[in-house]
Amino acid sequence: MAEWAPRLQAHFGNAVVDKSMLTHVVPGLPAFISESILCQYLSESASKKEVLRRYQEALERYVPHGAARDAWHRRLQTDGEIAAIARYRVEVNVERSATGHTLKVPVLGINKGTVADGILEAYPRLLTTGIWGLGKLALQEDGVRLVKFHSFVVPQIDMVHYVTGRQMFTEAEWVDILTSSLCLNPRSDEPLSRLKLLRLCRLVPLVQDLVFLAEFGPPGTGKTYLYDQLATHSFVVSGAQATPAQMFYNLRERQPGLLAQWPCVVLDEIDKVSDRELSEELVNKLLKYMESGEYDRGTVQVPSTTSIVFSGNVPRRRGSNGPVFSGMAKKLQHPAFLDRLCGLVPGDEFPVLGQKHETMSTDPGFTADYFSQILLALRRRKSSIADRVRMEPGAMVRDEKAVKRVFEGLVKLVFPDGEASAQDLQKYLDLAVELRQAVIMEKYALHHETADFRTLRARIV
């Protein structure tokens, strides 16, 4: 166990979990759900073996899978109700019914259920993308009804307690704690290594508004694992399935899109999207949004602070077979689009996640639901740290804006109180500059624009 582990557990208590237990997670079940279940059975008196036994019993009792669908339906028939951990979603079609709605639980094959009063008001995201939770389903005369619902998200966190706890650790220890919280082994690399700092870059869109990052790399390096499995405030969608209605506003159903619902949206496998599949409307609205932080569709105008990550699989080293951005659709290679990116994360530097005992953490770390709430709270905290950044002559306005956003996000993660020496801050500023410089270099490699033949430099004052 790491030297800092006892201090972390002593100060943060139930917000910390032994990450080695996550080797027992169930495929298809988000890691934050597994952690929430595990934490219910952890105590000082319970052995690890007993905790895992009770955890497995809970999975068998509450987590359905498609192959056992009929068995769950039979339990609903005989017992009159069941409790299931699954993704729940509710659809409303005013043309079909002026007041009705339809509950869908895909894993159980439920497509025409209803919801008890008060649940939709308490959990409005049921009406959009749907959410994971523990629901009690009852069989009534008019069909299946969701009568109770519990979300696996910590309702409140104490930021003063969090910031105070950070002060008990060195910078290197804290980066290791963040690494372990991502379920990655912090002891597989040296303190404050480049790899650890690059992994923090993936967290920046979760703690900072309007950060637009791209990452291309080999499959299996964890590009979307963080956003899909560990973060409760991000949404991953296949780039090929992204539409103007889904991303911005659905005019027919009068429902806001993903950019109005989630702090961070990931467009995954963006390299597989062809120009034919990519609508002009989607690209044009992305261009406007990434510049101004607002978008319109029909008569609806919406401001937003959602960050976007463009993720793709490129199984080669950067530059060996042409510019990285050449793997995207031509519409996304446009100079105006590329120039709006805050940074390009060097995906080729991340190792493929291999055996669990080599790459997964065996140390404590923050539980995923607690850590997600912390990231959201950090996002809402106002910071003036970017005022200390001075760009050298030659930088453009978009360069400065991009560098400051990424830098501020990194500082929030490592120094949540904003207190750090100029020397400590400079390495995070240099990293933010590097990510933006990568965008400039790759853009120049594609379009050979004279304005892109520039080198960025920045310093802390």
Tens of each residue's pLDDT in the chain, 461 residues: 899 999 999 999 888 988 887 766 666 788 788 888 887 777 655 687 888 888 888 888 999 987 789 999 999 999 999 999 999 999 886 655 556 789 999 999 999 999 998 999 998 889 877 889 999 999 998 899 999 999 877 767 899 999 999 999 999 999 999 999 999 999 888 999 999 999 999 999 999 999 999 999 988 898 998 898 888 889 999 988 899 999 999 888 788 899 998 999 999 999 999 999 899 999 999 999 999 999 999 888 999 999 999 999 874 444 455 788 988 999 999 999 999 999 999 999 999 886 555 688 889 999 988 999 999 999 999 999 999 999 999 999 999 999 999 999 999 999 999 999 999 999 999 999 999 999 999 999 999 999 999 999 999 99
**Which residues lie closer than 8 Å to 126 by C-beta, 6 or more apart?**
88, 89, 90, 115, 119, 120, 149
pTM, entire model: 0.88
Six-digit token string for 119: 């649940």
Among positive and negative, which fits the CA dihedral 406, 236, 292, 344?
Answer: positive
What is the maximal distance between C-alpha atoms in the chain?
74
pLDDT attached to residue 285: 96
pLDDT attached to residue 36: 82
Q: H/E element holding 436? A: helix 422-447
pLDDT attached to residue 29: 82
pLDDT attached to residue 130: 86
Identify the residue whose tokens are 């009852």. Answer: 138
- Report d(CA 286, CA 308) in Å as an integer: 10
